[in-house]
């Protein structure tokens, strides 16, 4: 419905001191995405584009925010923010190719709709899970703050998304760290079919600002001049006084959640009521009344945009479908990394595993000015295992950061740091707590390079493992949750020398690395380790013992159980392989040894089903079958959670079982 006279303008527009050119820029900013959407709805009906999430009626928010930010200030949009992309002048044919899954899009056909980012345009698109975007914005803003560049960033969500824990965590962190982020909540009445009264139980989402200790404002989201002028003032003030601001934009979702799902559950009265507040048509009438716009100009703009849309659609439609090429698909999962060997010619000292990790980390902090450590109690307290003791004195609190208890926001923030030029090491206080940060690890860190060519230069340190009487929530060795996820590297050293060199490489590597550190080995295993910085390659196992009768494959604490067993049974002649890295896996070392010995036993500390041992066993069977003299054996912990009492825990762990199984295999 188009308001025809000034009396039908719903909003009380106030242009303040805005010149005509700015008023027109905002108008054109809203008109273009509206026309693109109208075209998309036609193409959708013709089956020429897939799913479509409409932002019709919400354009003023994206346009106003994007208009006040500089082109090099990051914006993190959601699925209804087409105008963010068009305001950044992305060539339309690239957007169209993206939506058609073609190579000229932003994801090589690997992700759909608005699920992409582009460094070129300083846009970081969403992942389906919504919530982690806020934490990523925290990280981007933290990098801006550390650089002291006075830049702000803006992140979007709907009101539905605000119910997610990730969002709460990120808002809290932003407030505690005073990060310059504009947290933009588009309250459009519905999260899919769920109305606001079933989504939250406060009057305004902006009211939550008080709880976070954060400035918050409510803005009439369909009034472009209110959005623009308020945002302009706020952004200018944030640049000089960096801080987070929570903004609730009142608006309405005029179409279905996505086009196929319809709006049956929305009363027509509501749709009519909000139709009268259409941000584009009201503003158009206002500009006509002001004499800034004329009917001829409107026609001229519409024709110009329609021509641009049609020409760009022609380009996208003419582009051939993307071809499947297995090598390209596999090669894009990780960012290429040229491992550089750094050898230390220095003296050695006899140190514990924990000292080696601490040293490796400290030397990496010296080597990489842009490395930030984050974790609970890692600053003055030095972390619960004291790995970062003394770091804050040496590197300062900007780079050694205590975090609130919020694993999801911190992993997401690490992603944001990486996007904005930093490296991050996140310490999980215990590997068990990674469950609370699982979402961004699996969905953000692991998939970003494959999806839109963006690295995740993050190491997550995982103090893990049983044998310390710590019960079900402080004893897990959960590497198999991550080895199953393409895009992550998984490192699991058993010795101080390996731990130090592999940690250095993990930090050098721009890909996300899950770095497992066995707590029971922290203070029990010593070794002579070079005092200087050095690196060791990922994906190379080490052959600790050589023998012709059997191949033992293990890692972590298993290595020490196997060594003990071999020491107590010197008659056993075994190759002992310490994998050191689980992803990438050194299959070459495994096959070479098994082809020599003809017998293989795999020992893992984790419970059996779905663990690494099962996959290695399958690989051996598939690749070395002709050389095998016995079935491959797997030895693992019981299929139970990890018990606390010492005798229950030792019954749970596979150490004793290992010896029996090894002897059985040898006598096969």
Contact with ligand TPP (CB under 6 A) among 160, 244, 256, 465? 160
Residue 215, classed as helix, strand or coil, is: strand
How far lies 609's CA from each of 12, 358, 590, in Å?
65, 33, 21
Q: Which of residues 113-142 bind ligand TPP (CB under 6 A)?
A: 128-130
Contact with ligand TPP (CB under 6 A) among 138, 159, 407, 517? 159
Measured from the CB atom, the residue of 253 and 401 that comes closer to ligand TPP is 253
Query: In this chain, which stretch among 185-193, 212-220, 300-308, 427-435 interacts with ligand TPP, using CB under 6 A?
Result: 185-193
Q: How far is the CB of 164 from ligand TPP (least distance, A)?
A: 6
- Give the C-alpha separation, 410 to 437, whole Å: 8
Measured from the CB atom, the residue of 62 and 617 that comes closer to ligand TPP is 62
Query: In this chain, which stretch among 138-146, 157-165, 215-223, 515-523 interacts with ligand TPP, using CB under 6 A?
Result: 157-165
By the rule CB under 6 A, 495 interacts with ligand TPP: no
Specify whether the backbone of 18 is left (phi greater than 0), alpha (psi in -120 to 50) or beta: beta
Q: How far is the CB of 630 from ligand TPP (least distance, A)?
A: 47
Catalytic residue among 93, 115, 449, 474: 474
Q: How far is the CB of 333 from ligand TPP (least distance, A)?
A: 23
Q: How far is the CB of 107 from ligand TPP (least distance, A)?
A: 17
By the rule CB under 6 A, 157 interacts with ligand TPP: yes
- Nearest Cα to 329, choosing from 488, 106, 108, 100? 108
Structure-block tokens of residue 638: 């019981």
- Give the C-alpha separation, 453 to 420, whole Å: 14
- Give the C-alpha separation, 651 to 278, whole Å: 68
Measured from the CB atom, the residue of 169 and 605 that comes closer to ligand TPP is 169
Structure-block tokens of residue 242: 């960096």
Measured from the CB atom, the residue of 183 and 495 that comes closer to ligand TPP is 183
By the rule CB under 6 A, 190 interacts with ligand TPP: yes
By the rule CB under 6 A, 158 interacts with ligand TPP: yes
Burial class of residue 200 in the structure, from the number of CB atoms within 10 Å of its CB (0-12 exposed, 13-18 middle, 19+ buried): middle
Structure-block tokens of residue 281: 């048509």
Measured from the CB atom, the residue of 183 and 385 that comes closer to ligand TPP is 183
Instruction: Return all residues near 581 (Cβ < 8 A) that are at least 6 apart.
Output: 489, 490, 491, 492, 502, 538, 539, 540, 541
Measured from the CB atom, the residue of 161 and 558 that comes closer to ligand TPP is 161
**How many binding residues for ligand TPP (CB under 6 A)?**
15
Which residue has the closest beta carbon to ligand TPP? 158
Pairing of strands 574-578, 550-554: parallel
Binding string, residues 69-98; x marks residues near ligand TPP by CB under 6 A: -----------x------------------
Does residue 616 contact residue 602 with C-beta atoms inside 8 Å? yes
Measured from the CB atom, the residue of 451 and 659 that comes closer to ligand TPP is 451
Q: Which of residues 252-281 bind ligand TPP (CB under 6 A)?
A: 253, 257
Q: What are phi and psi of 379, to 5 degrees?
A: -80, -110
Q: How far is the CB of 550 from ligand TPP (least distance, A)?
A: 47
By the rule CB under 6 A, 59 interacts with ligand TPP: no
> What DSSP string describes 121-185?
GTB----TT-THHHHHHHHHHHHHHHHT----EEEEEETTGGGSHHHHHHHHHHHHTT--EEEEE
The secondary element (H helix, E strand) that includes residue 75 is strand 75-76
- The verdict on whether 560 is a catalytic residue reads no
Q: How far is the CB of 192 from ligand TPP (least distance, A)?
A: 4
List, in sequence order, every residue forming a beta bridge with 461; answer none if it has no partner.
427, 515
- Give the C-alpha separation, 581 to 402, whole Å: 29
Catalytic residue annotation? 474
> Which residues of this protein are in contact with ligand TPP, per CB under 6 A?
80, 128-130, 157-161, 188, 190-192, 253, 257
């Amino acid at each position: 419905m188009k308001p025809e006279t000034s009396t039908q303008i719903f909003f009380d527009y106030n242009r303040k001191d805005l010149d005509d050119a700015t008023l027109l820029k905002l108008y054109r900013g809203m008109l273009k995405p509206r026309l693109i959407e109208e075209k998309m709805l036609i193409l959708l009906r013709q089956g020429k584009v897939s799913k479509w999430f409409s932002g019709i009626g919400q354009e003023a928010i994206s346009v106003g925010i994007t208009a006040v930010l500089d082109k090099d200030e990051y914006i993190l949009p959601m699925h209804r923010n087409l105008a963010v992309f068009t305001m950044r002048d992305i060539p339309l044919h690239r957007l169209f190719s993206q939506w058609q899954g073609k190579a000229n899009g932003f994801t090589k056909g690997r992700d759909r709709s608005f699920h992409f980012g582009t460094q070129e345009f300083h846009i970081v698109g969403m992942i389906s899970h919504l919530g982690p975007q806020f934490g990523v914005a925290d990280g981007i803003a933290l990098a801006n703050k550390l650089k002291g560049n006075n830049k702000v960033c803006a992140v979007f969500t709907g009101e539905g998304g605000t119910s997610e824990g990730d969002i709460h965590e990120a808002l809290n962190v932003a407030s505690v760290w005073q990060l310059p982020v504009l947290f933009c909540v588009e309250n459009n009445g519905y999260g899919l079919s769920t109305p606001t009264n079933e989504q939250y139980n406060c009057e305004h989402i902006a009211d939550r600002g008080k709880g976070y200790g954060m400035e918050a404002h409510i803005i009439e989201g369909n009034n472009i001049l209110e959005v623009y002028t308020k945002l302009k003032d706020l952004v200018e003030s944030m640049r000089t006084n960096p801080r987070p601001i929570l903004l609730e934009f009142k608006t309405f979702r005029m179409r279905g959640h996505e086009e196929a799902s319809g709006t049956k559950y929305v009363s027509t009265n509501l749709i009519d009521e909000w139709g009268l507040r259409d941000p584009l048509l009201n503003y158009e009438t206002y500009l006509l009344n002001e004499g800034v716009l004329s009917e001829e100009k409107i026609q001229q703009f519409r024709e110009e945009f329609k021509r641009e849309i049609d020409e760009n659609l022609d380009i996208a439609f003419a582009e051939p479908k993307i071809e499947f090429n297995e090598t390209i698909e596999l090669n894009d999962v990780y960012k290429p990394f040229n491992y550089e060997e750094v050898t230390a010619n220095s003296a050695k000292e006899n140190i514990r595993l924990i000292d080696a990790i601490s040293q490796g980390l400290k030397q990496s902090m010296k080597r990489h000015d842009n490395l930030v450590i984050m974790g609970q109690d890692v600053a003055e307290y030095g972390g619960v295992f004291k790995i970062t003791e003394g770091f804050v004195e040496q590197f300062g609190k900007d780079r050694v950061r205590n975090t609130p208890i919020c694993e999801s926001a911190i992993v997401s923030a690490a992603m944001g740091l990486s996007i904005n030029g930093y490296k991050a090491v996140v310490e999980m206080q215990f590997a068990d707590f990674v469950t609370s940060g699982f979402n961004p690890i699996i969905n953000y860190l692991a998939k970003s390079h494959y999806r839109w060519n963006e690295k995740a230069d993050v190491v997550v340190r995982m103090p893990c493992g049983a044998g310390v009487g710590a019960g079900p929530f402080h004893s897990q060795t959960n590497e198999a949750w991550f080895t199953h996820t393409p895009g992550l590297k998984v490192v699991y050293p058993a010795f101080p020398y390996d731990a130090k060199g592999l940690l250095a490489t993990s930090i050098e590597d721009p890909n996300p690395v899950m770095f497992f550190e066995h707590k029971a080995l922290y203070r029990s295993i010593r070794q002579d380790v070079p005092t200087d910085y050095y690196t060791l390659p990922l994906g190379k196992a080490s052959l600790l013992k050589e023998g012709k009768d059997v191949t033992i494959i293990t890692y972590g604490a298993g290595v020490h159980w196997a060594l003990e067993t071999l020491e107590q049974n010197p008659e056993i002649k075994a190759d002992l392989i310490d994998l050191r890295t689980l992803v990438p896996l050194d299959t070459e070392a495994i096959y070479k040894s098994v082809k020599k010995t003809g017998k293989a036993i795999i020992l893992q500390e984790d419970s059996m089903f779905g663990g690494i041992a099962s996959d290695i066993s399958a690989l051996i069977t598939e690749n070395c079958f002709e050389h095998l003299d016995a079935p491959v054996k797997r030895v693992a912990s019981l299929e139970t959670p990890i018990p606390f009492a010492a005798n229950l825990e030792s019954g749970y762990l596979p150490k004793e079982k290992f010896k029996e199984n090894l002897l059985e295999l040898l006598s096969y």
